[in-house]
């Protein structure tokens, strides 16, 4: 057998510790995380995408799963019956791509400031230009000012993902 991705079950809130420990032992580990803006400024700004799980690329015939089972903070490999759950390479690549896209959208949201000109790129108002007004509570919601045919600007609530900044 050759190296394959497996799912490793981690004890609560031990993901970073296990990740650092496995990396120090030269394991190929993928720990999907994403950035958040917590209400409490002292709370972590990085959260696990799958709390309690991470992925390890390993040749179980060479290493054996005891190397992972007895690592502090782990519960061992996720199994279906007696077989460890394997994850196809394409799924790992797709997950990395999706998380990268999420990060790009988050950066785009953080770059918008009141008064910036934006273009609406999705939805029924796609193609219209507007003025960025403010961020709203709720996930990635914003308010823009949109003027129709020389009327007073109307407030419109959208997802930040539906906007692109006009330079």
pLDDT of 123-132, one tens digit each? Answer: 888 899 999 9
- Position 152 scores a pLDDT of 83
Share the mean pLDDT of the chain. 88
pTM: 0.69
- Position 134 scores a pLDDT of 87
DSSP secondary structure code for residue 129 in this structure: E
Within 10-149, residue ranges assigned H as helices are 15-24, 60-63, 66-69, 89-111
Q: Cα–Cα distances in Å, from 160 out to 28, 31, 107, 138?
A: 35, 26, 11, 11
């Amino acid at each position: 057998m050759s190296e394959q991705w497996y799912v490793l079950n981690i004890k609560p809130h031990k993901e970073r510790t296990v990740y650092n420990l496995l990396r120090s032992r030269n394991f190929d580990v993928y720990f999907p995380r994403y950035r958040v803006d917590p209400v409490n400024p002292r709370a972590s700004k990085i959260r696990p995408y799958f709390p309690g799980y991470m992925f390890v690329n390993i040749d179980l015939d060479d290493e054996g799963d005891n190397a992972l089972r007895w690592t502090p903070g782990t519960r061992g490999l996720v199994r279906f019956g007696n077989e460890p759950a394997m994850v196809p390479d394409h799924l790992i690549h797709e997950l990395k791509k999706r998380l990268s896209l999420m990060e790009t959208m988050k950066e785009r949201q953080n770059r918008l400031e009141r008064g910036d000109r934006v273009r609406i790129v999705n939805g029924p108002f796609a193609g219209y230009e507007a003025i960025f007004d403010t961020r709203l509570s709720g996930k990635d919601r914003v308010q823009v000012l949109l003027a129709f045919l020389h009327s007073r600007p109307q407030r419109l609530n959208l997802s930040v993902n539906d906007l692109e900044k006009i330079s």
